[in-house]
Amino acid sequence: MARKRKGEPIHGWIILDKPEGLTSTQALSKVRRLLNAEKAGHGGTLDPAATGILPIALGEATKTVSYAMDGEKTYRFTVRWGERTATDDREGEVIERSDVRPDADAIRAALPAFLGEIEQVPPQFCAIKINGERAYDIAREGDAVDLKSRIVRIDRLELIETPDADTAVLEVDCGKGTYVRSIARDLAERLGTVGHVITLRRLRVGAFTLERAISLDDLAAMEQGAAVERLLLPIETALDDIPALALTEAEAHRLRHGQTVALLTRQDRERLAALHGAVGGDGAVIALFGGKPVALARVEGAEVRPVRVLNL
């Protein structure tokens, strides 16, 4: 006897404004339960102390989570000068102090050094695996973690305000794998002091912004059906930067069954030419039929190969 499905087959994205105090997994579980969704995942972890955009993928949208996680992100964060903590945020114990307090002019003068592709060492307390163990588990045992520097991309780093001598509020647009806690730590060092993050709010993940976000409390107050109808964004929202390829019915049928589609006629070549320049180095496209996504696919020469079939 077939197992009964737990939950409804809902497909698309919900943009959650995650509250402070919940892990991303806990927030995901609450959304899934409130919507009675059969399957769910999230598009990028936020620390429990952080708030803001947590894209929740439902159903077949879970197949596009990696694209959401690769998207550019925007954070607003507050740095407290004069204290460094073990975790580089307010959760850790203070391990170093300084009397130096940089002013706004000094902070602005230091910011350009952090733009572009830079080397960054992740915080000791992070989820990176070392010999199969999470760095934060090793750090909690009191051992120093040997984390290698990595190349990250920062497109914008701006001072928003200096509420007082001890704190500064900044915003950053950054690529995948960037640690805001490391920015705060390294910026403080460049300014001749120490510092740590005391507030962190994510304002954007790729195409997902706060304008379409909802809190857990507001979501809980809505009827399930109304919430899905009003809040659910299409699966392809996470694929905003990926070009679309329109298919014929026969081509869609082949891709849905995991088969390669050959584009060989003159009309086919014109379709490929229209994609030229828009397709990235990996050849990724979203294949559509009748305006609905059929599959994540890859263009290789004159062939379209399915990568993830979307069963809608």
Give tens-digit pLDDT for 214-243.
999 999 999 888 888 889 998 888 888 788
Say which amino acid occupies 39: K
Distance separating alpha carbons of residues 282 and 126, to the nearest angstrom: 29
- 205 touches 71 (CB < 8 A): yes
Q: Evaluate if residue 33 carries a pLDDT over 90.
A: yes
pLDDT band at 303 (very low <50, low <70, confident <90, very high): confident
Beta bridge partners of 103: none
Query: Coil, helix or strand for 80?
Result: strand
Assigned architecture for domain 73-205: 2-Layer Sandwich (3.30)
Under the banding of pLDDT at 50, 70 and 90, the label for residue 1 is: very low
12-71+207-238 to CATH, choices 3.40.50.620, 3.30.2350.10, 3.40.50.300, 3.10.20.590: 3.30.2350.10
Non-local (6+) Cβ contacts of 103 within 8 A are 162, 165
Do 242-309 and 12-71+207-238 have the same topology in CATH?
no
Of the candidates 198, 217, 221, which has an alpha carbon nearest to the alpha carbon of residue 17? 217
Please give the pLDDT value at position 275: 67
**Mean pLDDT for the stretch of residues 268-279:** 65
Average pLDDT for the chain: 87
Residue ranges per domain, the chain?
A: 12-71+207-238, 73-205, 242-309
Binning pLDDT at 50, 70 and 90, where does residue 166 land? very high
* Residue in 17, 47, 173, 186 annotated catalytic: 47
| Cα angle for residues 45, 50, 51 (degrees, 5° grid) | 95
pTM comes to: 0.86
Fold designation for 242-309:
2.30.130
Given this model, what pLDDT does residue 277 score? 55
Of the given ranges (64-68, 97-101, 252-256), which has the lowest mean pLDDT? Answer: 64-68
Residue 47 is among the residues annotated as catalytic for this protein: yes
- CA–CA dist 180, 196 (Å, integer): 10
> What is the mean pLDDT of the segment spanning 58-73?
89
CA dihedral 247→307→296→258, nearest 10 degrees, is 40
**Tokens in use for 51?**
């708030």
